[in-house]
Amino acid sequence: MTNKKPSINDIAKHLNVAKSTVSFIINGKAEAHRISKKQEQRVLEYIKEIGYKPNYMAKSLATGKTNSIGLIVENIGDSFFGPIALMIEERAKKSGYRIIYSSTRNNTNDALSVLQLFKDTHVDGFIIAPPVKMEEGVKKVINDKVPVVIFDRMLEGVKTDYVGTNNREVVEEACAHLLEQKFKRIAFISLASPQSQMQERLDGYLHTMRKKKQTPIVLQMRYDVDREGYRNEIIHFLQNNPDVDAVFFATNYLCISGLEAIREIGKKIPDEIGIIAFDEHDLFRLFSPSITAIVQPLEQLSATIVKILLNRIDKGTIEPYQYITVPSTLVIRESSVKKKLK
């Protein structure tokens, strides 16, 4: 018993067989290489006895596979990407893949450099919620035959798999609901972001407003601001638009800043101002009044993302790319239902 870890070579020598024989047996290819049952038993037993563990780095060097996936998101600590990261990892683990993650905080340069770094370390595939201007970087990766699944927001002109939700349709549903509740002046508060999911949400809003002959009122804030900044800007906006009687918030954290703003200026939800948020948050269930929200099916999104990526990794990248949208649900709570109507 030395304390050096045993290698395939050691096993082969000890058992007087060839390295290749051992390797085949370990990898379950004994049958395919017509190795005798007896031989296989002998090797398997010895492996168990000495507690042999293959060296993954050597294996990776020889095969070019690392069994790891790079996950690049906006912020792994937030209430959307965090749970997604949890579910993605749990599913990937079942298929023997590890997840390496990085948060971009929407910084394109950081995202590009981490993309390159992960690629240099030979991840087998990527799951990316990209910041803007990532098109070229992602294309390069795909060109080098590394599979990429984009999620949450699309990348224009990048041919690869995408998984997202039906932003536009569900926002239309939400806005229609507000109108039904007799809210008249519905504002849309969002980020000045060209990202596809934000554009789709805006489209849904504008489309419904136009269809119902309402005048849109849109606030698009810079996205490099902190919570305090959003709050102040929303206060300002609501004061300048006193006739606004409902707000659709394009993300959950904007809604949280919005709630702080509304508290500050003292408007009553829902009778003086109706509220709907995109994406769920613990707060929304418990807030008084509870907040109507569009809830994305996180489990289903994660499952789809992982399934598609693993399929690409296994089978290469032949079939047509998939564009999948999993529908979200409008969960109606108190903040969008006028008490007088009840």
Partner DNA sequence: CTGAAAGCGCTTACAG
Q: Which residues bind DNA (CB under 7 A)?
A: 4-5, 7-9, 16-21, 23-24, 26-27, 33-36, 39, 52-55, 58-59, 61-63
According to CB under 8 A, which one of 57, 157, 226, 240 is a site residue for its own copies? Answer: 57
Residue for token digits 């979200």?
A: 328
Q: Which residues pair with 274 in a beta bridge?
A: 246
Binding of its own copies by 256 (CB under 8 A): yes
Strand partners, 164: 325
User: Which range binds its own copies by CB under 8 A, 66-74, 127-135, 161-169, 177-185?
Assistant: 66-74
Out of its own copies, DNA, none, what residue 4 binds, judged by CB under 5 to 8 A for its kind, is: DNA
- Least CB distance from residue 241 to DNA, whole Å? 60
We find the least distance from the C-beta atom of residue 160 to its own copies, in angstroms, to be 20
Site string for its own copies, 128-157 (x = CB under 8 A): ------------------------------
Shortest Å distance, C-beta 82 to its own copies:
4
From candidates 10, 12, 40, 101, binder to its own copies by CB under 8 A:
101
Give the residue, chosen from 18, 20, 36, 58, that forms a contact with its own copies under the rule CB under 8 A.
58
Separation of alpha carbons 219 and 238, rounded Å? 10
2 in contact with its own copies (CB under 8 A): no
Torsions phi, psi for 167 (to 5 deg): -45, -55
Q: Which is nearer to its own copies, 79 or 322 (CB)?
A: 79
- The residues that bridge with 151 in the sheet, in sequence order, are 163
Choose the contact partner of 112 out of its own copies, DNA, none; CB within 5 to 8 A by kind.
Answer: none
Shortest reach from residue 17's CB to DNA, in Å: 4
Which partner, its own copies, DNA, none, binds residue 41 by CB below 5 to 8 Å per kind?
none
Total residues in contact with its own copies, by rule CB under 8 A: 47
Among 85, 175, 244, 294, binds its own copies (CB under 8 A): 85
Which x/- pattern, by CB under 8 A, does the window 158-177 give for its own copies? Answer: --------------------
292: its two tokens:
């109507």
Q: What part of residues 285-314 is at the interface with its own copies (CB under 8 A)?
A: 286-288
Contact 98, 60 (CB under 8 A): no
Question: Do 274 and 238 touch, CB atoms closer than 8 A?
Answer: no
Of 70 and 274, CB closest to its own copies: 70
Please, what's the largest Cα pairwise distance for the chain?
A: 87
For its own copies, the binding residue among 7, 75, 166, 311 (CB under 8 A) is 75
* Footprint of its own copies (CB under 8 A): 53-58, 60-61, 66-68, 75-79, 82-87, 89-90, 93, 98-103, 114, 117-118, 120-122, 256, 259-260, 263, 281-283, 286-288
